[in-house]
Structure 1
Amino acid sequence: MVTLDADVIVAGAGPGGASAAYFLGQQGCKVLVLEKAQLPRYKPCGGGVPNTVFNFFPFDFEPVIEQRISRATFVYGARQFTQPVEPDALTMVMRDQFDYYILQQAQAEVRPGVEVAAVTQERDSVAVTTKKGETLRASYLIAADGANSPVARSVGLREGKELGVALELETEVDSATLAAYHQRFLVGFGYLTAGYYWIFPKAHHLSIGIGTVKRGEKTMPHLLQEAMTNLGVSLEKHRRYAHPIPIRIRREQLQHGRVLLVGDAAGLVDPLTGEGIRHAVESAHIAANTIVAGNVAQYTAMIEKTYAADLGWARLLSHIIYNSQRFSFDWIMRNRLAFTDLIRILSNRMSYRQFVAKLPLYMLSLGSRLPLDKRQ
C-alpha cells in the first residue's frame, strides 16, 4: 500500500490555494501546501476584493483591509466622472497580507520554497515531484499555481490557453494626492485597444497599473507613464511588475483524474476587469467540496453551472466596450442605470448575462447620463 503524505496536496498559496487549504482543513482533510516562494510572498495586484468573498469565511478580515471603496472615477481621454458606490461593494487589500492571512487560518502543513516539477497520476493517488527531487503523494492535487500552471501542463489541461498581460506597481505619493484617492478607485480607457489603466488606493500608498486582454500591446510602460502624467501622478524610480492574465475563451475541462485546477490556473479570471480573486476563492470552495464528497468528476460541470458560463457573457461585453470605448464611456458607463449595474457586477450582485440582456434598456434611457466632473 502506498503511504500518503496528505489527503490533498495544494500547489500554490495564493487566494485559491490558501482558500482550498482552509476549506479542506475545516472538513477534516490532511492538507499539504507547497509554495515556490517564501511567505508571505509579494504579489503585484490591484487588490480589489468584492465584499461577497468574505462571506465564504467565518473569520474577520479587518486586520488586512487597507481601504473600503465609497467612490469610483471613470476616465476617457480628458473627460471623467465620479460617482458614489454602494458602501459594501469593494474592499482594498495588499495581496501578500490577504493571501497569507487566509493561509494562517488553515489547518494545513505549509512548505514554502518548494516548487512542483512534475505530476504523475497513479491508480489511487497522485505523486508530486518537487524541483528538489522529493516525491510526495496524496489522494488529490489542487493546482493553484497561477496562469502558467506547471501542474496543468503536466496533466494536459489548459492547452492552447490565451493570456493577456498586466503591468503594475506600488507608489507612495504626497498627502494631498493620497487624500484625493481616499476610498476612491479610478479606471481609465482610451490608451489600449483592449484594456484599461487604474489607480487603487491603499492605506499609505497607491496601487497603479495597466492591463490588456489582447496580446500584442507593445508600449504598455509608455502608455502607463503617459496616463499617470496626465493625472499628475509620478512613476519615477519605481519598479514595475508584469504578470500574465489568463483569459477563458471556451468551456474546457478543469479536472483530470485526481487533479483539479482553481483560480488563475483554471483560467477563471474576469475578461472585462481582469479580477480573479473572487473566482479563485469560489473555485477553491467548489474543489474542496467535490473532493470531500468524492465526486471530482463533476467539478468542471459545477464550475460551469455556478459561474463560469457567465464569463462568456463578460467576454462578449468586453468586446463591446473595448471595440467602442468612446461610445461605451458616454452611453454605457455614464448611463446612470448601467453604472449602478456595473458596480453590482463588481460586488457579485448581478451577472454579466443580466447586464447584457439590459443593454437595450440602457440605450433607451439616453437622458439619464451622469454629469462629468468639473475641470480642476
Structure 2
Amino acid sequence: MIETDVAVIGAGAAGTAAAFHLAAAGHSVSVLEAEPSGRIKPCGGGMASSVQNWFPFDLTPAVDDVIRRVDFSWCLEDPVVADLPGEAPFWIVRREHLDRLLLDQAVSAGATLHRPFRVTCLERNDACWTLKSEQGEPIQARAVVIADGSGSPWPQQVGIGPRSLHMASTLSVRLEGLGALTPGTARFEFGLVHHGFAWAFPLADGINVGVGTFIGRDVADSETILSALLPDLGFSADAGLRQQASLRVWNGHSPLHSDGVMAVGDAASLCDPFLAEGLRPALMSGCEAAKHLDRWLRGEERSLHGYSREMRQRWGDSMAWGRRIAQVFYRFPGVGYQLGVKRPTAPRRIAQILSGEMGYGDIAQRVIRRLLLQRN
C-alpha cells in the first residue's frame, strides 16, 4: 500500500495544476494517470493569458499562437472581422504540450507520477481514501482530487457535482499547416452547426478545428459540416486527425466537494455552456482546489466547503447567465448572429468574457431581452 496526502486522478490541466500547488506547499502528492503515454488532444486549446497569474513559472513555452483578431461567419458568408483589445490577448496551446509542462512542474515540485494507473475502485475508509487499479499497488490518501475529465464516474459515485449532466457533443480535428487561416486569427462559424458552432484556432504549424453542439446529444451530420468547412479553410474534406467527445458543461450550482474529496475541471462540469471554454475553468479550479485542500490538510479549514463557494462566486454565477444566453442563442442562432455577433460592441464583450474581465451577468439581461423581442 502506497500512502500519500493527496491522490490526483488524472494528469490533465486541472489535475496537474492542483498537483503542482499542493506539492509546492509541501504535501505528498500522487498523480494517477490512466493513459500509458501522452496523446494528441486536438481540442480548441484557447485560454486567456491571464491564467499566467496563477502560476509562478512561465506558461509561454506551451503557447503556439496569440490571437489578435477573430473572424466570424454565417454559413461561410456574411463575415464579421473583429480586432481584439491588446490588453486581453487570447492564447492558443496544444493541450498535450500544456499538460506536459504542468506535469513536469508538478513532478519537479515533488509530486509522484503513477502511469499507467486507471482507478477501478475509490472507497472511503475511516479518515482515508483507498484507490485501486489493475496496475500497481493500491494507494491510500488523506484526500482525493477527481480530475479525469468528462467521462469520470467518480463525482456521481461520491455525490458531488450536478445531479443531472448536460453534455455537449464535439468533433475535433488536428490539421497540419495553416491553410487559408492567418496566424494570430481565430475563426468562428455559425449557421452550419445545428444548436452550436464551429471553430478554427491556429497553431505554430497547424490548426485545431472543432464542431460542437450544446443543445441535444449529437453533432448532426458532422461529416457534412466538415466537408463544407475544411475546404473553406484550405484543406481537403477528409483531412486531419479526428476525435469525437462528449463534454460536460455547466448545468447549475452544485457542491464540488465532499469529505476529503473534490472535483475539478471537466469532471466538475465547469465548461462554459455558451462559448465552450474549458481550459480557464480547469486551471482555475485546480488552483482553487489546491488552496483549500492545503488549508484543510493543515487543519486550518474544517471542511472543503470554501472550494465550492469560491468556484460558485468566481465561475458559477457567471455561467448561470451563460447557460441562459446559450439556451436562447442556439435555439435562434440566425437572430443571435444578427443581434449579437454583428453588433459593434460584441467582439470586445466576447474578449472580455474570455479574459475574465467581464462575466455573462454583466450583459445577459440585455442580450436575452434583445433576442426574445426580435424573435417575437
Q: TM-score, normalised by structure 2?
A: 0.90
Determine the structure 1 residue equivalent to 2:316: 308
Residue 248 of structure 1 and its aligned partner are, at CA, apart by 2.2
Any residues of structure 2 matched to 1:253-264 within 5 Å, and which?
253-264=255-266
Determine the structure 1 residue equivalent to 2:189: 188
Determine the structure 2 residue equivalent to 1:371: none
Which of 257, 263, 273 matches 1:271?
Answer: 273
d(CA) in 2 for partners of 1:133, 1:120: 17
Determine the structure 2 residue equivalent to 1:80: 79
Residues 173/298 of structure 1: CA separation in 2 closer, same or farther (3 Å cut): closer
User: How big is each residue's C-alpha offset from its partner over 1:9-32, in whole Å with a ceiling of 9 and x where there is no partner?
Assistant: 100011100100011112111111
Determine the structure 1 residue equivalent to 2:51: 53
Determine the structure 2 residue equivalent to 1:120: 123
Determine the structure 2 residue equivalent to 1:367: none
User: How big is each residue's C-alpha offset from its partner over 1:160-181, in whole Å with a ceiling of 9 and x where there is no partner?
Assistant: 312111101111246xx35x42
Determine the structure 1 residue equivalent to 2:135: 132
Query: Contact 1:166–1:242 at 8 Å: present in 2 too?
Result: yes
**Secondary structure in 1 matching 2:251:** coil
Query: Contact 2:212–2:219 at 8 Å: present in 1 too?
Result: no
User: How big is each residue's C-alpha offset from its partner over 1:197-217, in whole Å with a ceiling of 9 and x where there is no partner?
Assistant: 111000001111101113143
Residues 133/188 of structure 1: CA separation in 2 closer, same or farther (3 Å cut): same
Residue ranges of structure 1 left out of the alignment (5+ in a row): 364-376
Residue 362 of structure 1 and its aligned partner are, at CA, apart by 8.0
Determine the structure 2 residue equivalent to 1:246: 248
Determine the structure 1 residue equivalent to 2:38: 40
d(CA) in 1 for partners of 2:260, 2:234: 51
Determine the structure 2 residue equivalent to 1:374: none
Any residues of structure 2 matched to 1:1-376 within 5 Å, and which?
5-77=3-75, 78-87=77-86, 88-106=88-106, 107=109, 108-132=111-135, 134-158=137-161, 159-173=163-177, 177=179, 180-213=181-214, 214-294=216-296, 295-359=303-367
d(CA) in 2 for partners of 1:96, 1:146: 14
d(CA) in 2 for partners of 1:290, 1:337: 38
Residue ranges of structure 2 left out of the alignment (5+ in a row): 297-302, 372-376
Query: Contact 1:68–1:90 at 8 Å: present in 2 too?
Result: yes
Residue 237 of structure 1 and its aligned partner are, at CA, apart by 4.3
Residue 53 of structure 1 and its aligned partner are, at CA, apart by 1.1
**Secondary structure in 2 matching 1:240:** strand
**Secondary structure in 1 matching 2:27:** coil
d(CA) in 2 for partners of 1:183, 1:237: 22
d(CA) in 2 for partners of 1:166, 1:264: 14
RMSD between superposed Cα atoms in Å: 2.1
Aligned residues: 359
What amino acid sits opposite 2:195 in the alignment?
Answer: A
Query: Contact 1:69–1:183 at 8 Å: present in 2 too?
Result: yes
**Secondary structure in 2 matching 1:145:** coil
User: How big is each residue's C-alpha offset from its partner over 1:236-276, in whole Å with a ceiling of 9 and x where there is no partner?
Assistant: 24331011110222222221222100000000000011111
- Quick check: 237-246 or 307-316, which moved more? 237-246
Residues 161/185 of structure 1: CA separation in 2 closer, same or farther (3 Å cut): same
Residue 134 of structure 1 and its aligned partner are, at CA, apart by 3.0
What amino acid sits opposite 1:109 in the alignment?
Answer: T
Percent identical pairs in the alignment equals 27
Query: Contact 1:118–1:151 at 8 Å: present in 2 too?
Result: no
User: How big is each residue's C-alpha offset from its partner over 1:287-329, in whole Å with a ceiling of 9 and x where there is no partner?
Assistant: 1111111131333222212221211111111122212212221
Residue 338 of structure 1 and its aligned partner are, at CA, apart by 2.5
Determine the structure 1 residue equivalent to 2:300: none
Query: Contact 2:197–2:211 at 8 Å: present in 1 too?
Result: yes
What amino acid sits opposite 1:59 in the alignment?
Answer: F
